[in-house]
Structure 1
Amino acid sequence: MARVPIEPVYGNLQGIKSSQLKQLQRLYQQRLPGDCFTTPEFAQRIAAISTDLGQPVCVYINRRGQVIRVGVGTLRQTRIPPLELPRYGAERLSGIRCISTQLKLEPPSESTLTMMAIQRLDALVVLTLTGGGFERRGGGATGYIKETYLAHLVPHPETNWTVSPPLSLDVLTGQDFSSLVEGLEEEFRREFVGQAVDQQGDRVLLVGLQTDGITAQRFQDGLEEVTRLVETAGGEVLQILKQRRSHPHPQTVVGEGKVEEIARAVQTIGANLIVFDRDLSPAQVRNLETQIGVRVVDRTELILDIFAQRAQSGAGKLQVELAQLEYRLPRLTGRGQAMSRLGGGIGTRGPGETKLETERRAIQRRISRLQQEVDQLQAHRARLRQQRQHREVPSVAVVGYTNAGKSTLLNVMTNAEVYTADQLFATLDPTTRRLVVPNPLNQEPLQILLTDTVGFIHELPPSLMDAFRATLEEVTEANALLHVVDLSHPAWQSHIRSVMSILSEMPIAPGPALLVFNKIDQVDGDTLALAQEEHPQAVFISASERLGLETLRQRLGQLVHYAVSC
């Protein structure tokens, strides 16, 4: 005779007797009608077990009336992990309801309702039990249910759920469960369709953490920058959640309560991606994804995704793939099919995406081959630079914060056709063009090479610095630098410091630099006066409006003459 498998009981099992455990396991054999929340007999049976244990009990039931999970403790202690729930998305409920007991005569707490929202339960039935109001009949405990509460989600941003007033058990068991669920599903579907109109990319919840040492202004500037990064990557930030802590939580970055708030917000707004404004460890990403059930992307992975979209040349794609694989290699642990990165969207694009779920050893071999190719690329570019130097053509590298207008400036000065857009990292591959500038000695005009380089960003990820060293060496090998600054950006001073910090970390000190403030047509007089006071030697232009370009050409001639003379 085949043995009946013993179903597991979850939650807090410490101190439970074997006879009590068997009572809990027998609940799996029960089957409820599909049109009711529960039956009086089943509710009283759960109440009796809970009374005997002196602890809450939670029973999870699917729409076919089958008990699929039994646990001892609160909803938090017994909840179904997000990865084990049906992955319907924001337009659907999970198809599971929970009947729980509560030893206090009060409505379900916000923590309990949050757990209901995270699991997207069809409904939550709370049976409140009277303290000491139990009788012993025939040697067994019969629980007396004082009153019940019925809670369920609602598809409205203002409120996540609704809770009924206290109900008698007879009133609760007489309500039509299937009609309620069908109505809710239809409401969620309509709400989801309304949100999804004209929304092709990822729906993002942005999370920002302000720690000690970060000023409020810098924190806000960082959030705005990450928002721009999300938009550049093709996503839309639906909501921003913030938290202030002295230091990041080692397991989940933010605190436990904030993790619950994030999970609740994800369900409310229908987000399919969470982006953090900082870099996360592999363990932090895994912990967050396990608790919330939605993909989590940090700042570096977001930038890598943009680079994957922007890389056009073979060299650029090569460097992006190398950076992606080196970044993702330690993050492969725990990535099963349930959280596969091969589904598309932010953080999944790029030449190396099909390698992410292969064996670690194969990825390491691929990284070694890519590293060799990058080294060859570096040597090839070094030979090209030597040829240019042999021809005695001075070179000027255009550097600056991303979206400062470097490519636009190159286009208007050299009639180049470099792609430009009001986006971060609009161009990735370097472009070099010839330019004739006045000779400060009133002799024959000078010919120079003007090279547009990849834009910098605050705390440029080390993986990108390493992978793009062949590109960034265009900066170190140039005779001089043209440092372009977007004066219309509120954080232009911080951008200057970020670029200077990155340049100071170059293995070879770059040549002399000329500071150029761009987009002066978009700033007020006070900002312009402040920049002129702080940087009296700078040049002020508007590349798009062709303002100040002749002055820039003259200053370029002086810069190149000085750099070559030195």
Structure 2
Amino acid sequence: METIYGNLKGLKSSQLKLLQRLYHQRLPGDRITTPEFSQRLAAVSAELDQPVSAYINRRGQVIRVGVGSPAQTQIPPGELPRYGTERLCGIRCISTQMKSESPSSAVLTAMAIQRLDALAVLTLSGSGFTRRGGTVAGYVQEAYLAHLVPHPEVTWTVSDPMSLEDLAEQDFVDLTEGLEEEFRRQYVAEEVDLDHDRVLLIGVQTQTVSPQRFQDGLTELTRLVETAGGEVLQVLIQKRSRPHPRTVVGDGKVQEIALTVQTIGANLVVFDRDLSPAQVRNLEGRMGVRVVDRTEVILDIFAQRAQSGAGKLQVELAQLEYMMPRLTGRGQSMSRLGGGIGTRGPGETKLETERRAIQQRISRLQREVTQLQAHRSRMRQQRQHQQVPSIAVVGYTNAGKSTLLNVLTNAEVYTADQLFATLDPTTRRLALTDAETEEPFPIVLTDTVGFIHELPPPLVNAFRATLEEVTEADALLHLVDLSHPAWQSHIRSVMQILSDMPITPGPILLAFNKIDQAESETLAIAREEYPQAVFLSASHRLGLETLRQRMIQLVRYAVVS
């Protein structure tokens, strides 16, 4: 039996049959509609005293009938044919409305979200079949024709009111082919790179976060997306007292996001906060593209950056721990896990099987991380047995830790102006000379993974072996990028993460890096607030001798205390 969508409350069985009979209609492929089909649709609408919408494919087949406007009966994005920004979806909609007025913005937005070939809106006369000058006027008083336009600033166009005969004479093939040719030209002109995600960024500003912190977070998320290989096309912001429990943003904003996705050709929506599995499912169902949160972006970067076996091990553990509660409703995405699933039990669902398989994998990875911890612990004990003091370099991501290690020790660690350029800890021996006694003073310097504001819990858990380098070091060198606008916030974030460590780290030396790029006013503020800090530029080798002597003092203080 043909399904009728929309608001069916209170409908009689005879009225449902009238709606189902619309599925048996066939329209010519070169016309938007015919007077006969339009009048039949209007008659059903008049019988129900409600708008009715019919969706027709390019073969002229009615594929969906719904009670309500196109905004109330639209096809879910996941059920629409796959198409790109250079094509329309291959479906047109003929809809009725009770008032004599141009289609509303909600109706036109629904057209744009679905990328319909065209939308014809029929206004009912309200009087049924009436005789005007000896002819039958029918139910339709006037019609409007709307369609998308390939213009960067205009999304759609709506015709002036026309007669049903004029609407029926419109050449549908000429209209759709012309539009798609224009969309293709615009697509090529934009030089769309299919190898990169085209991202729409969503920021939700609540009262619990200051405006400056919110803007800093959006700027950082933009860099995270770019580091992951995506291109941020646009940023949308909504202010709310609290996130919506189902969709994070309000219904109106969801519609705006879905429309923007279609308008700019985005294939990924990134939110500036963690999303629950239910929120991701609800948003993807409304938008028709992938939706990810900040944590998933960071996990993706870590997966790209991990080079060593230990790093890949810990990244996989973090991803599985993040994925575990998000399995329900993910559909085919679970197939990305590949093999490893055990024998199915009788009556066991696929989801339960995969959940247990993932849990087994997590347990095995946790054991391997524990073994990694033990190995690194033995290495540290050997260094301690040789009585070589150690300093761990910590700091916000992209503060220049790896660059400093390379300059001081010739370590040749990979460096780049990217977030999380290096993940694996690198330990090198550094031969210092005490300026007062002129005696050699060897230490061990360890570069650690960069910190970030609100470090995702799965990463904290998975990288505990790496972070132990911090807790086990005799002292810490906290490196700060002074050229970054949010350098003060970065200091607070790093100190918060350090304070949450299970073992209290040793004494900390604060060092401000990139002073060659910092403004003089910023440098003066930092010198005033942190008079005991060291100021340097690792890339320009400025202030390194002062840093070396201060590290000797730091280690001596740490060993004595």
Is the pair's TM-score, using the shorter chain for normalization, greater than 0.5? yes
TM-align CA RMSD: 1.7
| Aligned match of 1:345 | none
Flag structure 2 segments of 5+ consecutive residues without an equivalent.
342-350
| CA distance in 2: counterparts of 1:71 and 1:292, whole angstroms | 20
| Aligned match of 1:523 | 518
Which of 497, 504, 509 is equivalent to 1:514? 509
CA 143–392 in structure 1, closer or farther in 2 if over 3 Å, else same: farther
| Aligned match of 1:536 | 531
CA 362–559 in structure 1, closer or farther in 2 if over 3 Å, else same: same
Q: Does 1:435 align with 2:430?
A: yes
| CA distance in 1: counterparts of 2:340 and 2:286, whole angstroms | 26
Report the 3-state secondary structure (helix = DSSP H, G, I; strand = E; otherwise coil) of the residue aligned with 1:522. coil
Flag structure 1 segments of 5+ consecutive residues without an equivalent.
1-5, 343-347
Deviations 1:30-72 (A, max 9, x none): 1000000000000000001101100000000000000000000
| Aligned match of 2:553 | 558
| CA distance in 1: counterparts of 2:81 and 2:409, whole angstroms | 57
| Aligned match of 1:55 | 50
| Aligned match of 1:109 | 104
| Aligned match of 2:404 | 409
| Aligned match of 2:155 | 160
Alignment of 1:297-312 (within 5 A): 297-312=292-307
Q: Does 1:275 align with 2:270?
A: yes
TM-superposed deviation, 1:523:
1.4
Report the 3-state secondary structure (helix = DSSP H, G, I; strand = E; otherwise coil) of the residue aligned with 2:483. coil
| Aligned match of 1:3 | none
Name which of structure 1's ranges 359-368 and 243-252 shifts more when overlaid on structure 2: 359-368
TM-superposed deviation, 1:134:
4.8
| CA distance in 1: counterparts of 2:321 and 2:377, whole angstroms | 24
Report the 3-state secondary structure (helix = DSSP H, G, I; strand = E; otherwise coil) of the residue aligned with 2:246. coil
Is the 2:43–2:128 contact (alpha carbons within 8 Å) kept by the matching residues of 1? Answer: no
Which of 240, 247, 253 is equivalent to 2:248? 253
| CA distance in 2: counterparts of 1:366 and 1:221, whole angstroms | 37
| Aligned match of 1:469 | 464
Which of 208, 212, 219 is equivalent to 2:214? 219
TM-superposed deviation, 1:371:
1.0
CA 285–536 in structure 1, closer or farther in 2 if over 3 Å, else same: same
| CA distance in 1: counterparts of 2:292 and 2:101, whole angstroms | 39
Deviations 1:335-354 (A, max 9, x none): 223xx377xxxxx8xxx677
TM-superposed deviation, 1:439:
2.9
CA 158–7 in structure 1, closer or farther in 2 if over 3 Å, else same: same
TM-superposed deviation, 1:89:
2.0
Q: Does 1:478 align with 2:448?
A: no
Is the 1:48–1:142 contact (alpha carbons within 8 Å) kept by the matching residues of 2? Answer: no
Letter in 2 for 1:86: P
Alignment of 1:205-244 (within 5 A): 205-244=200-239
Which of 127, 141, 144 is equivalent to 2:139? 144
Report the 3-state secondary structure (helix = DSSP H, G, I; strand = E; otherwise coil) of the residue aligned with 2:397. coil
| CA distance in 1: counterparts of 2:235 and 2:246, whole angstroms | 21
Alignment of 1:268-347 (within 5 A): 268-337=263-332, 340=333
| CA distance in 2: counterparts of 1:164 and 1:17, whole angstroms | 35
TM-superposed deviation, 1:359:
1.6
Equivalent residue pairs, number? 547
TM-superposed deviation, 1:440:
6.6
TM-superposed deviation, 1:226:
0.3
Is the 2:324–2:355 contact (alpha carbons within 8 Å) kept by the matching residues of 1? Answer: yes
| CA distance in 2: counterparts of 1:399 and 1:414, whole angstroms | 16
Name which of structure 1's ranges 438-447 and 420-429 shifts more when overlaid on structure 2: 438-447
Is the 2:432–2:441 contact (alpha carbons within 8 Å) kept by the matching residues of 1? Answer: yes
| CA distance in 2: counterparts of 1:50 and 1:260, whole angstroms | 26
| CA distance in 2: counterparts of 1:255 and 1:205, whole angstroms | 17
| CA distance in 2: counterparts of 1:541 and 1:502, whole angstroms | 24
Letter in 2 for 1:456: F
| Aligned match of 1:23 | 18
CA 261–353 in structure 1, closer or farther in 2 if over 3 Å, else same: farther
TM-superposed deviation, 1:199:
6.2
Which of 375, 388, 392 is equivalent to 1:393? 388
TM-superposed deviation, 1:443:
5.4
| CA distance in 1: counterparts of 2:129 and 2:530, whole angstroms | 82
Report the 3-state secondary structure (helix = DSSP H, G, I; strand = E; otherwise coil) of the residue aligned with 2:95. strand
TM-superposed deviation, 1:438:
3.1
Deviations 1:84-131 (A, max 9, x none): 001112221110000000001001100111111111110000001123
Letter in 1 for 2:64: R
CA 353–495 in structure 1, closer or farther in 2 if over 3 Å, else same: farther
Deviations 1:363-405 (A, max 9, x none): 1111111111111111111111111111111010000000000
TM-superposed deviation, 1:206:
0.4
Is the 1:437–1:556 contact (alpha carbons within 8 Å) kept by the matching residues of 2? Answer: no
Is the 1:440–1:561 contact (alpha carbons within 8 Å) kept by the matching residues of 2? Answer: no
Is the 1:45–1:142 contact (alpha carbons within 8 Å) kept by the matching residues of 2? Answer: no
| CA distance in 1: counterparts of 2:340 and 2:478, whole angstroms | 38
TM-superposed deviation, 1:148:
0.4
Is the 1:459–1:498 contact (alpha carbons within 8 Å) kept by the matching residues of 2? Answer: yes
| CA distance in 2: counterparts of 1:70 and 1:197, whole angstroms | 35
Q: Does 1:365 align with 2:360?
A: yes
Letter in 2 for 1:26: R
Letter in 2 for 1:171: D
Letter in 2 for 1:522: Q
Name which of structure 1's ranges 516-525 and 492-501 shifts more when overlaid on structure 2: 516-525
Name which of structure 1's ranges 534-543 and 380-389 shifts more when overlaid on structure 2: 380-389
Report the 3-state secondary structure (helix = DSSP H, G, I; strand = E; otherwise coil) of the residue aligned with 1:206. strand
Which of 177, 180, 190 is equivalent to 1:182? 177
Identity of aligned residues (%): 75
